[in-house]
Amino acid sequence: MSIKIALVGNPNSGKTTLFNALTGSNQYVGNWPGVTVEKKEGKIKWNKEVILTDLPGVYSLSPYTPEEIVARNYLVDEHPSAIINIVDGTNLERNLYLTTQLLDFGIPMVIAINFMDVVRKRGIKINLGKLSRELGCKVVEISALKGDGIEDVAKEAIRISKGEATFRRNIFSSQVEKALEDIQDLIKKGYIEENELRWLSVKLFERDEEILSHLDLNEKTKSQIEAVIKRAEMELDDDSDGIIISERYDYVTSIVDKKMPGKEKMSVSDKIDRIVTNRWLAIPIFALIMFSVYFIAIGSVGAWITDFMNDTLFGEWIVPGITSLLEGWGIQDWLVGLIADGAIGGVGAVLGFVPQMLILFLLLSLLEDCGYMSRIAFIMDRVFRRFGLSGKSFIPMLIASGCGVPGIMASRTIEQQNDRKITIMTTGFIPCSAKMPIVGFVASQIFGGGVRGALVATGAYFIGIGAVICSGIILKKFKAFAGNPSPFVMELPEYHVPAPKNVFKSTFDRGWSFIKRAGTVILLASVLIWIGQNVSIESTSTEIVIDAETGEAVESGHAHAIFGELQEKLDNDGKPVIDEETGEVVMEAPIIDYKPAEHKGIHFIEEGCTSKSVLEMIGEGLSIVFKPLGFGDSWESSVATILGLVAKEEVVGALGSMAEGGINGASEEFFEGSWLKGISFLIFNLLCAPCFAAIGAIKNEMNSRKWTWATLGYMTGLAYAISLITYQFGRLFSRGEFGFFTVIAIILFVAFFYLLLKPAKFSLVNLFKKLFKKESKA
Amino acid sequence: MTLKDARVGDTVKVVRVEGEGPIKRRIMDLGITKGVEIYVRKVAPLGDPFELTVRGYELSVRKEDAKMVSVEKIS
Ligand SMILES: Nc1nc2c(ncn2[C@@H]2O[C@H](COP(=O)(O)OP(=O)(O)OP(=O)(O)O)[C@@H](O)[C@H]2O)c(=O)[nH]1
Ligand SMILES: [Mg+2]
């Protein structure tokens, strides 16, 4: 029989760290609250009988936030055999407040005081004996990060899971305890188990709607309970849930020795925060830090390695090496092309960016783990809040910088429905790891890396954030999204030296999933692209016109039948080749009335043929759409953009397999090295509809077909508008080119600012009405 | 007075948390209960959150929510 053990504790108390250490799994750990949003299960490494459940962090077990509901329902419905209550040792009071709620469940429990390494360093004294005696359960000191004491906790949990809960539960004032007993007497008659009585009575006392509806008590009992509550409220002069909370905290204060050293003085964290979260300096500092990150990852160090990989490793060694190897084995030309140019060219183009990506993520996870990113969330909170959005919206965005899918899922912690919708709609704007190669390609190939490249890359990041903020402002003005910001209290975790283990693991995880995708989805897509590019359904051939009198070729076409001897003859201007010494005819003059064969139906394109490939035909159709954005001038970049739906890496992968000189040639071949086209391409691909996986996540979270389409439409529409504005304005200002689309761009630009600056309480219907009125007047 | 009227550097003592429903519950769950001392670390103008030290940790609370907390100044 298996034993179920639940990990419960405050957000950011180290539950997932402990979970990973005990189960050997790889769940996401981050130094800000609210990382885990769903429960995760795993088996303990050294005892497969034991199933550990990592629950989302909660401050309390009220029924108001999604995390709290998940945690609470788990404890009630699944009834685990034991609880490990993780307590942040640097923050005893608030953490033990939750502990007092857990005691009510009557489930055997062990308390793990975590962060002991920090506690000892700061010289905080924790009186374990007193805690253990007071609460009536075992208290163990651990450091989840260092791995100290973690086995002891697990063993203790397993041990107690077999017995009954033994701890103390009556912690309230006599008035409240009396009221609870009265309530218990009132509901006891029914079917309720002894174990659950305590918890139910507390919840009923708090007038917890969920529990009340769950229990279906008769009206008489309900009014009797109400009378009990009213009496206690009168006596204690507060409402019932206020009483419970206050008394829990009072109890906790009484059992914790209040000798927190250095409480009020400025800690190092405070001093850093003074500067880093300063109203004026915060954003410039953030921009500077991001710029340095991108400069190292994309502009310099990362670029050197990527250049080496693209130019030398793939360009000079692997592709030519494999080509000659395969040719040496006598493998057919088309297969060699498929493998070397198609598959390796495409996958290589993506893999070439792995070093840049790894460095980027190494740096980002350093920032994340030391606590800086939660400051950014804090700063962004201010910005977001000013526009009526919840600051919690930023956390999904932080996560989305790794991958949009968990980012979109993290929006679940936002209580307010409308804010949630907006967050889901905009999280995909943040450049995720799969978009990194696009950024890397534009920054290092088109812009030549260095400071310029780093500026482009940093710009891409801020365009993502900008798109989120602007969307927030605009969408909030529509009726469907209006509403007050959700109540939100956020804590700033202390800075700490990043743990190499976390940093390397999260970097490695991201890198690995990237490489895995390159080996599967990208490989497949690259092969398909190569086939699409080398297959035609109709070969158009030019007739060869040869002057009948002189025998000279007037126009030598490229009919695909021209091979071998005939080609050589034409090369000699259609004259017979004569050995000068002997006067013998070495080669006859060409046949004059030669008619090239025509090819219809699906067939491989042969060398020297002008036929259009299937891919080109599709691409040309698509590129009409992208012409106004500049990069549509080459059909290849349009194809690449569309393939981004499969996976965003494939944008670069596709360019790599289509370009003759591999990814290095792509910037000249498809973009003519134009910065403007590059930027427009980058913006569109950053902001447009995300990959299928993320679309799936959007659909899941929105739980509505209509809203999913609205999201995709909004993202793609915005991407198109911003790219169009950028490209057309760029052309106008740099070359003075003015055309139909310049006008469209100006209109869009004005409309965008109108929506941005227009006062709130705005409805689309009214806008249409207004427009209509104006028109009918005119 | 309410917490909203507190100044940077003030230490105040909570007299009562007004209001009801989820917001009140949330504020109290985080440790702002009757009798607790709050140190105001930072207040920024224009709707920015209040940064407080409560029960040995740092917390940021919206101005609007701070209005719900009645306090008395102690230093
Ligand atoms: N110094 C130190 N840091 C720790 C310890 N345990 C966890 N951490 C760090 O605390 C941060 C939060 O850890 P998580 O495991 O993500 O916390 P969590 O409880 O799962 O958080 P939520 O999922 O948000 O509820 C990470 O940066 C960890 O590296 C510890 O014992 N000592
Ligand atoms: Mg977690």
Decide whether any atom of ligand 1 lies within 6 Å of the A496 Cβ.
yes
In this prediction, residues A231-235 reach a mean pLDDT of: 93
A501-548 pLDDT, tens digit per residue, is 878 887 887 788 888 888 888 888 888 888 888 888 776 555 555 555
* pLDDT at position A316: 82
What gap in Å lies between CA A336 and CA A332, rounded to an integer? Answer: 6
Contact A663, A315 (CB under 8 A): no
Tell me the chain B residues in contact with residue A60 when contact means C-beta distances shorter than 8 Å.
25, 29
Q: Over 90: is that where the pLDDT of A393 sits?
A: no
A77-96 pLDDT, tens digit per residue, is 888 999 999 999 988 999 99
Tell me the chain B residues in contact with residue A485 when contact means C-beta distances shorter than 8 Å.
62
Q: Over 70: is that where the pLDDT of A386 sits?
A: no
Pairing of strands A585-587, A139-141: unpaired
- For residue A51, report the phi and psi dihedrals to the nearest 5 degrees: -100, 120
Tell me the chain B residues in contact with residue A270 when contact means C-beta distances shorter than 8 Å.
41
Q: Over 80: is that where the pLDDT of A10 sits?
A: yes
What gap in Å lies between CA A739 and CA A733, rounded to an integer? Answer: 13
- Put simply, the answer to whether A238 touches B16 (Cβ < 8 Å) is yes
A620-646 pLDDT, tens digit per residue, is 988 999 999 999 888 999 999 998 988
Q: Which of A92, A245, A385 sits opposite B33 (nearest CB)?
A: A245
Decide whether any atom of ligand 1 lies within 6 Å of the A455 Cβ.
no
* pLDDT at position A320: 83
**In angstroms, what is the span from residue A525 Cα to ligand 1's centroid?**
39
Cβ count within 10 A of residue A744: 15
In this prediction, residues A745-767 reach a mean pLDDT of: 75
Q: Over 60: is that where the pLDDT of A775 sits?
A: no
Q: Over 50: is that where the pLDDT of A558 sits?
A: no
**What contacts A321, CB < 8 A, 6 or more positions away?**
none
Question: Is pLDDT larger for residue A777 or for residue A633?
Answer: A633
- Measured in residues, chain B has a length of 75
Residue B37: both structure tokens together: 């001392």
* pLDDT at position A158: 94
Residue B14 pairs in a beta bridge with B71
Residue A688: both structure tokens together: 């447009």
Q: Helix, strand, or coil here: A540? A: coil
Q: Over 80: is that where the pLDDT of A591 sits?
A: no
**In angstroms, what is the span from residue A496 Cα to ligand 2's centroid?**
17
Decide whether any atom of ligand 1 lies within 6 Å of the A365 Cβ.
no
Question: Is pLDDT larger for residue A491 or for residue A744?
Answer: A744
Range from A130-134, A577-581, A647-651, A719-723 carrying the lowest mean pLDDT: A577-581
**In angstroms, what is the span from residue A9 Cα to ligand 1's centroid?**
11
- pLDDT band per the 50, 70, 90 thresholds, residue A562: very low
Mutate to test the pocket of ligand 1, among A29, A117, A141, A152 (most ligand atoms within 8 A of CB): A29
A280-325 pLDDT, tens digit per residue, is 888 899 899 989 998 998 888 887 888 888 778 887 888 888 888 8
Q: Which of A241, A279, A378 sits opposite B25 (nearest CB)?
A: A241
Q: Over 60: is that where the pLDDT of A559 sits?
A: no
Decide whether any atom of ligand 1 lies within 6 Å of the A369 Cβ.
yes
Q: Over 70: is that where the pLDDT of A417 sits?
A: yes
- pLDDT band per the 50, 70, 90 thresholds, residue A778: very low
What gap in Å lies between CA A419 and CA A230, rounded to an integer? Answer: 36
- Put simply, the answer to whether B24 touches A242 (Cβ < 8 Å) is yes
* pLDDT at position A192: 66
Q: Which of B28, B44, B58 sits opposite A491 (nearest CB)?
A: B58
- Which domains can be identified in chain B, with CATH numbers? 3-73 (2.30.30.90)
- For residue A610, report the phi and psi dihedrals to the nearest 5 degrees: -95, 10
Decide whether any atom of ligand 1 lies within 6 Å of the A149 Cβ.
no
- Put simply, the answer to whether B60 touches A492 (Cβ < 8 Å) is yes
Q: Is any Cβ of chain A less than 8 angstroms from the Cβ of B15?
A: no
The ligand 1 atom at the shortest distance from the C-alpha of residue A57 is: 25
- pLDDT band per the 50, 70, 90 thresholds, residue A553: low
Contact A679, A424 (CB under 8 A): no
Residue at token pair 């899922």: A409
A430-457 pLDDT, tens digit per residue, is 888 889 899 999 998 889 888 999 999 9
- Supply the DSSP symbol for A487: P
Mean of pLDDT over chain A? 82
Q: pLDDT > 90: what percent of chain A?
A: 29
Tell me the chain A residues in contact with residue B61 when contact means C-beta distances shorter than 8 Å.
489
Decide whether any atom of ligand 1 lies within 6 Å of the A36 Cβ.
yes
Q: Over 60: is that where the pLDDT of A260 sits?
A: no
- Measured in residues, chain A has a length of 778
Residue A562: both structure tokens together: 């021209």
**In angstroms, what is the span from residue A373 Cα to ligand 1's centroid?**
14
Decide whether any atom of ligand 1 lies within 6 Å of the A117 Cβ.
yes
Q: Where are the beta strands (DSSP E) in A37-187?
A: 40-44, 47-54, 82-88, 109-114, 139-141
Q: Is any Cβ of chain A less than 8 angstroms from the Cβ of B30?
A: yes
What gap in Å lies between CA A719 and CA A685, rounded to an integer? Answer: 8
Residue at token pair 């915060």: A282
Note the pTM of the prediction, 2 decimals: 0.71
Q: Which of A90, A94, A264 sits opposite B30 (nearest CB)?
A: A94
- Put simply, the answer to whether B62 touches A385 (Cβ < 8 Å) is yes
Buried b / exposed e along A412-448 (16+ C-beta atoms within 10 A)? bbbbbebbbbbbbbbbbbbbbbbbbbbbbbbbbbbbe
Instruction: Give B 32-61 residues with CB within 8 A of chain A.
Output: 33-36, 39, 41, 44, 46-49, 51, 53, 55-61
- pLDDT band per the 50, 70, 90 thresholds, residue A262: very low
Least Cα separation, residue A18 to chain B (angstroms): 22
- Which domains can be identified in chain A, with CATH numbers? 3-161 (3.40.50.300), 174-259 (1.10.287.1770), 542-604 (no CATH)
DSSP A529-586: HHHHHHEEEEE--PPPEE-TTT--EEE----TT--HHHHHHHHTTTPPEE-TTT--EE
